[in-house]
């Protein structure tokens, strides 16, 4: 069998989607090797809440960030990466039992929020809200996507706005000894059919 080769030699490619002074949000088209370590270091902030499996590796960066079906954004402050959010098709997680029993598995209408993190030093500036807002806006503008799902600590989803439902709860999520909720957000609760929109190239925030 031919060994799978990853193209990590080329540089990062992205488009600025939103900006406010020294802060900006970029839609990632390709993550180059020069940004791998920054993403890995930032992902360590997720380990306390989500377990060691939340820490990125070169393989998971390539698998989830450098895939056309994914929806990855990074946040930069004065040019440095301070956070990211990434959505992947639910079907990419077919190895997970909770994903396979989701009623929408196989319908290709659901984006799973694989990771969402902002470094602690920047959490009080509203940057996390901006990043999430851009992510949800672009997910909604993907013609096939109707739902966003994800796992959060119990009680967190009650603070979300929009049409959000708790699908189930998972005890001892990834060995954290914590209970997590699996939530589903309906991006088009008032629509009976999907409509396609072209997302703007840049939004000022």
Check pLDDT > 60 for residue 139: yes
Query: Residue 117, SS3?
Result: strand
Q: How many structural domains compose the chain?
A: 1
The pLDDT, as a whole number, for residue 11 is 87
CA distance 108 to 128: 27
The pLDDT, as a whole number, for residue 48 is 81
Distance separating the N- and C-terminal Cα atoms of the chain: 49
* pTM to 2 decimal places: 0.84
CA distance 148 to 165: 11
Residue 2 maps to a domain: no
Residue 107 maps to a domain: yes
Query: At 181, which CATH number?
Result: 3.40.630.30
Average pLDDT, rounded, for the chain: 87
The pLDDT, as a whole number, for residue 184 is 97
The pLDDT of 171-199, averaged and rounded, is 77
The pLDDT, as a whole number, for residue 177 is 87
Residue 75 maps to a domain: yes
pLDDT digits 0-9 by tens, 40-84: 999 998 888 888 888 999 999 999 999 999 999 999 999 999 999
CA distance 79 to 96: 36
Query: Residue 44, SS3?
Result: helix
Contact 147, 109 (CB under 8 A): yes
Which of 31-35, 104-108, 172-176, 181-185 is predicted with the least confidence, judged by mean pLDDT? Answer: 172-176
Residue 91 maps to a domain: yes
Question: With bands split at pLDDT 50, 70 and 90, how would you rate the model's confidence at 94?
Answer: very high
Question: With bands split at pLDDT 50, 70 and 90, how would you rate the model's confidence at 191?
Answer: low
The pLDDT of 127-140, averaged and rounded, is 96
Give CA separation, 165 vs 14, 46, 62, 91, 158, in Å. Answer: 33, 23, 31, 20, 9
Residue 27 maps to a domain: yes
Expressed as residue numbers, the domain containing 76 is 13-200
């Amino acid at each position: 069998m031919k060994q799978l080769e990853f193209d990590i030699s080329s540089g990062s490619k992205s488009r600025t989607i939103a900006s406010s002074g020294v802060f900006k949000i970029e839609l990632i088209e390709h993550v180059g090797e020069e940004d791998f370590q920054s993403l890995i270091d930032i992902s360590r902030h997720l380990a306390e809440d989500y377990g060691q499996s939340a820490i990125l590796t070169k393989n998971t960066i390539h698998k989830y960030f450098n895939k056309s079906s994914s929806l990855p954004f990074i946040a930069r402050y004065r040019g440095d990466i301070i956070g990211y959010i990434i959505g992947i098709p639910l079907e990419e997680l077919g190895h997970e039992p909770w994903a396979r029993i989701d009623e929408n598995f196989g319908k290709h209408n659901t984006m799973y929020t694989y990771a969402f993190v902002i470094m602690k030093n920047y959490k009080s500036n509203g940057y996390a809200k901006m990043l999430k807002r851009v992510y949800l806006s672009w997910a909604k503008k993907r013609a096939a996507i109707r739902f966003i799902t994800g796992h959060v600590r119990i009680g967190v989803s009650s603070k979300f706005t929009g049409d959000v439902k708790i699908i189930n709860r998972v005890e001892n999520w990834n060995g954290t000894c914590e209970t997590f909720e699996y939530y589903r957000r309906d991006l088009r609760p008032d629509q009976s059919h999907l409509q396609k929109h072209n997302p703007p190239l840049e939004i000022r925030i």
